[in-house]
Amino acid sequence: MTLLEQHAPIQTLSPAVEDFILRFQLQQPRQPAPALRGTRHAAVLIPIICRPEPTLLLTRRSDQLRKHAGQVAFPGGAADASDASIIATALREAQEEVAIPPEQVYVLGTLSPQDSSSGFRVTPVVGLLPVDVPLHPAEDEVAELFEMPLREAFDLARYHPLDIHRRGIHHRVYLSWYQQQFVWGLTAAIIRQLAGQVEV
Protein backbone atom coordinates (compact mmCIF):
# COMPACT_ATOMS: atom_id res chain seq x y z
CA MET A 1 0.00 0.00 0.00
CA THR A 2 1.43 3.38 -0.97
CA LEU A 3 1.55 6.51 1.17
CA LEU A 4 -1.22 8.05 -0.94
CA GLU A 5 -3.46 5.03 -0.46
CA GLN A 6 -2.89 5.12 3.29
CA HIS A 7 -3.52 8.83 3.68
CA ALA A 8 -6.01 10.38 1.30
CA PRO A 9 -5.67 14.07 2.38
CA ILE A 10 -2.18 14.16 0.82
CA GLN A 11 -3.11 13.85 -2.85
CA THR A 12 0.24 14.32 -4.59
CA LEU A 13 3.83 14.25 -3.44
CA SER A 14 6.66 16.04 -5.18
CA PRO A 15 9.95 14.23 -5.85
CA ALA A 16 11.53 16.33 -3.06
CA VAL A 17 8.95 15.10 -0.52
CA GLU A 18 9.25 11.49 -1.72
CA ASP A 19 13.03 11.75 -1.36
CA PHE A 20 12.69 13.11 2.19
CA ILE A 21 10.34 10.26 3.15
CA LEU A 22 12.69 7.64 1.72
CA ARG A 23 15.74 9.05 3.49
CA PHE A 24 13.88 9.43 6.79
CA GLN A 25 12.66 5.84 6.69
CA LEU A 26 15.94 4.28 5.56
CA GLN A 27 18.45 6.12 7.71
CA GLN A 28 19.04 5.14 11.30
CA PRO A 29 20.06 7.77 13.85
CA ARG A 30 23.82 8.16 13.61
CA GLN A 31 24.46 8.54 17.30
CA PRO A 32 22.93 6.81 20.31
CA ALA A 33 20.25 8.72 22.18
CA PRO A 34 21.80 10.86 24.94
CA ALA A 35 21.22 10.18 28.61
CA LEU A 36 18.32 12.41 29.55
CA ARG A 37 17.71 14.28 32.79
CA GLY A 38 14.15 15.41 32.10
CA THR A 39 11.50 13.43 33.94
CA ARG A 40 8.32 15.07 32.64
CA HIS A 41 7.26 14.04 29.15
CA ALA A 42 6.39 16.39 26.31
CA ALA A 43 6.20 16.23 22.52
CA VAL A 44 6.42 18.56 19.56
CA LEU A 45 5.14 18.07 16.05
CA ILE A 46 7.61 18.74 13.24
CA PRO A 47 5.07 19.67 10.54
CA ILE A 48 6.40 19.31 7.00
CA ILE A 49 4.13 20.89 4.40
CA CYS A 50 4.19 18.88 1.17
CA ARG A 51 4.88 21.74 -1.24
CA PRO A 52 6.92 21.06 -4.40
CA GLU A 53 9.74 22.53 -2.29
CA PRO A 54 8.80 21.09 1.13
CA THR A 55 8.81 23.41 4.13
CA LEU A 56 8.88 23.23 7.91
CA LEU A 57 5.98 24.95 9.66
CA LEU A 58 7.19 26.92 12.70
CA THR A 59 5.53 29.19 15.22
CA ARG A 60 6.68 32.27 17.07
CA ARG A 61 5.28 32.09 20.57
CA SER A 62 3.25 34.93 21.99
CA ASP A 63 5.19 37.64 23.84
CA GLN A 64 2.62 37.35 26.64
CA LEU A 65 3.46 33.77 27.61
CA ARG A 66 5.08 33.13 30.98
CA LYS A 67 7.72 30.74 29.58
CA HIS A 68 9.70 30.95 26.33
CA ALA A 69 7.85 34.10 25.27
CA GLY A 70 8.58 35.24 21.72
CA GLN A 71 10.68 32.19 20.85
CA VAL A 72 10.48 30.27 17.60
CA ALA A 73 9.14 26.78 18.26
CA PHE A 74 7.36 23.75 16.89
CA PRO A 75 3.80 23.26 18.13
CA GLY A 76 3.88 21.06 21.21
CA GLY A 77 3.68 20.79 24.95
CA ALA A 78 3.44 18.57 28.00
CA ALA A 79 1.84 15.13 27.90
CA ASP A 80 -1.54 14.71 29.54
CA ALA A 81 -2.57 11.56 31.39
CA SER A 82 -5.42 11.22 28.89
CA ASP A 83 -3.08 11.11 25.86
CA ALA A 84 -2.96 7.63 24.34
CA SER A 85 0.70 8.04 23.35
CA ILE A 86 3.45 10.61 22.98
CA ILE A 87 2.40 10.95 19.32
CA ALA A 88 -1.12 11.74 20.49
CA THR A 89 0.39 14.47 22.68
CA ALA A 90 2.06 16.11 19.67
CA LEU A 91 -1.11 15.91 17.57
CA ARG A 92 -3.29 17.30 20.37
CA GLU A 93 -0.94 20.21 21.02
CA ALA A 94 -0.69 21.01 17.29
CA GLN A 95 -4.47 21.11 17.11
CA GLU A 96 -4.72 23.35 20.19
CA GLU A 97 -2.01 25.79 19.06
CA VAL A 98 -2.44 25.90 15.29
CA ALA A 99 -5.77 24.08 14.67
CA ILE A 100 -4.11 21.34 12.60
CA PRO A 101 -6.67 18.52 12.37
CA PRO A 102 -4.98 15.31 13.59
CA GLU A 103 -6.51 13.34 10.73
CA GLN A 104 -4.67 15.64 8.28
CA VAL A 105 -1.25 14.62 9.65
CA TYR A 106 0.59 11.63 8.18
CA VAL A 107 2.99 10.64 10.95
CA LEU A 108 6.31 9.36 9.61
CA GLY A 109 7.81 8.56 13.01
CA THR A 110 9.68 10.04 15.94
CA LEU A 111 13.19 11.22 16.71
CA SER A 112 15.06 10.45 19.91
CA PRO A 113 13.84 12.55 22.87
CA GLN A 114 15.81 15.60 23.96
CA ASP A 115 16.01 17.49 27.24
CA SER A 116 14.50 20.95 27.39
CA SER A 117 15.77 23.74 29.62
CA SER A 118 12.51 23.56 31.57
CA GLY A 119 13.04 19.95 32.63
CA PHE A 120 10.94 18.12 30.04
CA ARG A 121 11.91 15.06 28.02
CA VAL A 122 10.71 16.19 24.58
CA THR A 123 9.94 13.72 21.77
CA PRO A 124 9.88 15.22 18.25
CA VAL A 125 7.18 13.69 16.03
CA VAL A 126 7.65 14.07 12.27
CA GLY A 127 4.44 14.53 10.28
CA LEU A 128 3.49 15.45 6.72
CA LEU A 129 0.74 17.99 6.05
CA PRO A 130 -1.12 18.63 2.80
CA VAL A 131 -0.61 22.03 1.21
CA ASP A 132 -4.20 23.10 1.84
CA VAL A 133 -4.35 22.17 5.52
CA PRO A 134 -6.25 24.89 7.44
CA LEU A 135 -4.08 26.78 9.93
CA HIS A 136 -5.50 29.06 12.63
CA PRO A 137 -3.02 30.03 15.38
CA ALA A 138 -4.38 30.35 18.90
CA GLU A 139 -3.95 34.06 19.62
CA ASP A 140 -3.09 33.58 23.30
CA GLU A 141 -0.23 31.18 22.47
CA VAL A 142 1.03 31.90 18.94
CA ALA A 143 2.05 35.33 17.64
CA GLU A 144 2.98 34.20 14.13
CA LEU A 145 3.28 31.23 11.79
CA PHE A 146 5.97 30.93 9.14
CA GLU A 147 7.51 28.33 6.86
CA MET A 148 11.17 27.52 6.26
CA PRO A 149 12.22 25.48 3.20
CA LEU A 150 13.72 22.13 4.23
CA ARG A 151 16.80 22.73 2.10
CA GLU A 152 17.55 25.88 4.11
CA ALA A 153 16.65 24.34 7.44
CA PHE A 154 19.03 21.44 6.78
CA ASP A 155 21.98 23.66 5.87
CA LEU A 156 24.06 23.04 9.00
CA ALA A 157 26.41 25.92 8.15
CA ARG A 158 23.67 28.35 9.18
CA TYR A 159 23.74 27.18 12.84
CA HIS A 160 26.33 28.71 15.12
CA PRO A 161 27.28 26.94 18.38
CA LEU A 162 27.30 28.68 21.74
CA ASP A 163 28.62 26.91 24.84
CA ILE A 164 27.02 27.85 28.14
CA HIS A 165 27.18 26.58 31.71
CA ARG A 166 24.09 26.37 33.87
CA ARG A 167 23.99 24.88 37.37
CA GLY A 168 27.39 23.29 36.83
CA ILE A 169 26.34 21.54 33.62
CA HIS A 170 27.77 22.30 30.19
CA HIS A 171 25.26 22.92 27.37
CA ARG A 172 25.85 23.61 23.71
CA VAL A 173 23.08 25.56 22.00
CA TYR A 174 22.80 26.56 18.36
CA LEU A 175 21.75 29.94 17.00
CA SER A 176 20.46 30.77 13.53
CA TRP A 177 18.44 33.34 11.61
CA TYR A 178 15.87 32.74 8.92
CA GLN A 179 14.62 35.97 7.33
CA GLN A 180 13.47 37.97 10.40
CA GLN A 181 13.19 34.95 12.70
CA PHE A 182 15.73 33.97 15.35
CA VAL A 183 15.88 30.18 15.61
CA TRP A 184 17.81 28.76 18.55
CA GLY A 185 17.81 26.43 21.53
CA LEU A 186 15.73 23.26 21.45
CA THR A 187 14.07 24.16 18.13
CA ALA A 188 17.42 24.54 16.39
CA ALA A 189 18.66 21.33 18.05
CA ILE A 190 15.64 19.38 16.77
CA ILE A 191 16.07 20.72 13.22
CA ARG A 192 19.73 19.68 13.31
CA GLN A 193 18.71 16.28 14.68
CA LEU A 194 16.27 15.76 11.80
CA ALA A 195 18.89 16.93 9.29
CA GLY A 196 21.28 14.30 10.66
CA GLN A 197 18.60 11.63 10.41
CA VAL A 198 18.06 12.19 6.68
CA GLU A 199 21.62 13.06 5.72
CA VAL A 200 22.84 10.84 2.91
Long-range Cβ contacts of 168-177 (<8 Å, 24+ apart): none
Among residues 186, 187, 110, 175, the alpha carbon closest in space to that of 146 is found at 187
C-alpha pair distances (Å), 109 with each of 17, 43, 112, 125, 191: 15, 12, 10, 6, 15
The SS3 of residue 116 is: coil
pLDDT of residue 165: 74
| C-beta of residue 17 within 8 angstroms of C-beta of residue 128 | yes
State percent of the chain over pLDDT 90.
50
- What architecture does CATH give domain 3-198? Alpha-Beta Complex (3.90)
Chain Cα centroid distance, residue 147:
12
Q: What is the pLDDT of residues 5-56, one digit of tens each?
A: 445 456 678 999 999 998 888 765 555 555 556 578 999 999 999 999 999 9
Question: Does 67 or 113 have the greater pLDDT score?
Answer: 113
The SS3 of residue 150 is: helix
Query: In 10 A of CB 112, how many CB atoms?
Result: 14
pLDDT at residue 85 is higher than 60: yes
pLDDT at residue 1 is higher than 50: no
CA dihedral 33→116→188→95, nearest 10 degrees, is 100
Average pLDDT, stretch 138-164?
89
Average pLDDT, stretch 123-135?
94
Which residues is 121 bridged to in the sheet? Answer: 41, 115
